[in-house]
Amino acid sequence: MKIRFGTSGWRAIIADDFTFRNVERVTSAVCSYLTSQNNRSGQPLIVGHDSRFMGEKFADVASEIAATAGFRVLKCTGPTPTPTISHAIRDQGAAGALNFTASHNPPEYQGIKFSTSDGAPALPEVTKQIEAGIEANAYAADAAGGTIEDFDPKAAYLADLNSKINFEAIAAANGKFAYDALWGTGRGYLDKILRDHGLEVETIHDWRDVTFGGRSPEPGKDHLDELREAVLNKGLTLGIATDGDGDRFGIIDSSGDFIEANHLIALLTDYLVESRGWTLGVARSVATTHLVDRVAANRGIKLYETPVGFKYIGELINQDKIVLGGEESAGLSIRGHYPEKDGIIACLLAIEAVTVRKASLTEQLAELYSRVGRLESGRIGVKLTDEVSARLKEKLAQEPAEIGGRRIETINRMDGVKFIFADGSWMLMRPSGTEPLVRIYAESESKADLEDLLEQGRKYLFS
């Protein structure tokens, strides 16, 4: 079978396409690629996994292959958050990392994410070479000196977070929190660092369940009912959540309101410019809210738009060009952090913003809207059948003058096709890079108009 890397690595269904044999093929091709890059064999190579079924077994297979290829394999001793692995790559001077994770995908999925020596997800020019190596059955020649060592990156990662968050202010405010780990890798990380600073934290779903309660470990509005109940029933300051591998966030405000990722990205951009005095730009993916654009204009900073995939935002983090980079799928990172999504630091920044500004997130958003206006954004998914795939390809090639009676002002083909309408609303269609779906995104100034836009997008796809 052909193995293709999507937005964030290669993902497939366990025991269907995700097999030990295919793990061997991918790992061998990655090792071959690395040894071809200035003979990186002999360097450390991080191998980690999340809390999914068979993660440690797949990591064992990859570790053996990498050690045979001459790498000093640092094998994580337990389920490890993706951002922690990103930090470990830099901290250990590693050639890169193989991380067995399917992030927020349903429990039947497993995946491999390859990150390069800068701690960022591999860019397309790298993954294309690895894909070619898989097709050619490439392998790194046996080399002496390879080892496998148990490795626990937790303490170093948490110490690094301590230098980037205003824990002094957070601890002084003595807030109370609930954390939903969604049976994922964030347990023992996000709750621990808050408790280490003397804060009261109730942890929900604080054990490993490879079925994630029978659903996707995604910290979206529909998955956080227990967290919302805890916040409301106990009068907590905030409810926080992370996904299966800890790179995405979910937030429940003290009012019980779910804070949309798009809104938090815009709010934290505003907060960081204000609190840190940073005057660099801000980055968002093509699918992310234009509320970020309005904050950038209001604060006088530059806006960068990228294709979907955090690897593109990661480049701007590495180049120290941005205060914050974020995606509507609940991923963000900040200046001086790693070029990888980090749901743990996102939750901590939300807590810091509430503490320092002495206002709930809902109150802060109301103030932000009074300055820049309000936008409502959303998305729907359409199953990617052969018929839908053919329709999408046809629609992406067209250049309509209007959709649903709305005049199109600009067509953006950075990633999929994005129709920007004369009234400032917009619609984007693109195939998902992580699931067999076509995504239709839209944004407008009212919820009613947003719903109409999404429906017009569905009709356009099938017309």
End-to-end CA distance of the chain: 33
The larger pLDDT score, comparing residue 43 to residue 463, is at 43
pLDDT at 234 over 80: yes
Report, as an integer, the average pLDDT of 113-118.
96
Task: Please choose, from the candidates 386, 424, 278, the residue with its C-alpha nearest in 3D space to the C-alpha of residue 337.
Answer: 278
Q: pLDDT tens digits, residue range 171-195?
A: 999 999 999 999 999 999 999 999 9
Asked whether the CA dihedral 171, 176, 177, 178 is positive or negative, the reply is positive
pLDDT at 438 over 90: no
The band of 87, judged by pLDDT with boundaries at 50, 70 and 90, is very high
pLDDT value for 136: 93
For residue 119, count other CB atoms closer than 10 A to its CB: 25
Task: Please choose, from the candidates 399, 400, 397, 386, the residue with its C-alpha nearest in 3D space to the C-alpha of residue 438.
Answer: 386
pLDDT value for 383: 84
Q: pLDDT tens digits, residue range 251-294?
A: 999 999 999 999 999 999 999 999 999 999 999 999 999 999 99
Q: pLDDT tens digits, residue range 382-412?
A: 888 888 778 778 878 889 999 999 999 999 9
Q: Would you tell me which CATH number, out of the four given (3.40.120.10, 3.40.50.720, 3.40.50.20, 3.10.20.30), belongs to the domain 10-153?
A: 3.40.120.10
pLDDT value for 238: 98
Highest mean pLDDT among 129-138, 245-254, 422-431: 245-254
Which pTM value belongs to this model?
A: 0.94
Question: 311-335 burial by CB neighbour count: b if 16+ within 10 A, else e?
Answer: bbbbbbbeeebbbbbbbbbbbbbbb
* Interatomic CA distance for residues 11 and 434, integer angstroms: 7
Give the percent of the chain with pLDDT over 90.
Answer: 88
In which element (H, E) is residue 35 found?
helix 20-36
The band of 134, judged by pLDDT with boundaries at 50, 70 and 90, is very high
DSSP letter string, 210-261 = TTGGGS----SGGG-HHHHHHHHHHT-SEEEEE-TTS--EEEEETTS-EE-H
pLDDT at 96 over 80: yes
pLDDT at 201 over 80: yes
DSSP 14: B
Task: Please choose, from the candidates 233, 227, 175, the residue with its C-alpha nearest in 3D space to the C-alpha of residue 204.
Answer: 227
Q: Please give the structure tokens belonging to residue 232.
A: 């409301």
Number of Cα atoms under 13 Å in the Cβ half of residue 136 = 13
For residue 182, report the phi and psi dihedrals to the nearest 5 degrees.
50, 40
pLDDT at 227 over 90: yes
pLDDT value for 380: 93
pLDDT value for 460: 87
Report, as an integer, the average pLDDT of 425-437.
85
For residue 277, count other CB atoms closer than 10 A to its CB: 7
Q: Please give the structure tokens belonging to residue 125.
A: 């020019």
Question: Are 170 and 201 contacting, i.e. CB atoms less than 8 angstroms apart?
Answer: no
The band of 86, judged by pLDDT with boundaries at 50, 70 and 90, is very high
Domains 10-153 and 164-372 fall in the same CATH topology: yes
Question: Are 285 and 307 contacting, i.e. CB atoms less than 8 angstroms apart?
Answer: yes
pLDDT value for 117: 95
Going from N- to C-terminal start, the domains of the chain cover: 10-153, 164-372, 376-462
Cα angle value 368/371/374 (rounded, 5°) = 65
β-bridge mates for residue 403, sequence order: 406
pLDDT value for 109: 96
Question: CATH fold of 376-462, please?
Answer: TATA-Binding Protein (3.30.310)
Q: Please give the structure tokens belonging to residue 226.
A: 């227990």
Q: Could you identify the residue written with the tokens 């609940």? A: 330
Report, as an integer, the average pLDDT of 300-312.
95
CATH number of 164-372: 3.40.120.10
Q: pLDDT tens digits, residue range 315-353?
A: 999 999 999 999 999 999 999 999 999 999 999 999 999
In which element (H, E) is residue 110 found?
strand 109-116
Average pLDDT, the chain: 95
Cα angle value 1/384/111 (rounded, 5°) = 45
pLDDT value for 259: 98
pLDDT value for 205: 97
Task: Please choose, from the candidates 224, 164, 222, 205, the residue with its C-alpha nearest in 3D space to the C-alpha of residue 351.
Answer: 164
pLDDT value for 369: 98
pLDDT value for 456: 93
DSSP 122: P
The band of 89, judged by pLDDT with boundaries at 50, 70 and 90, is very high
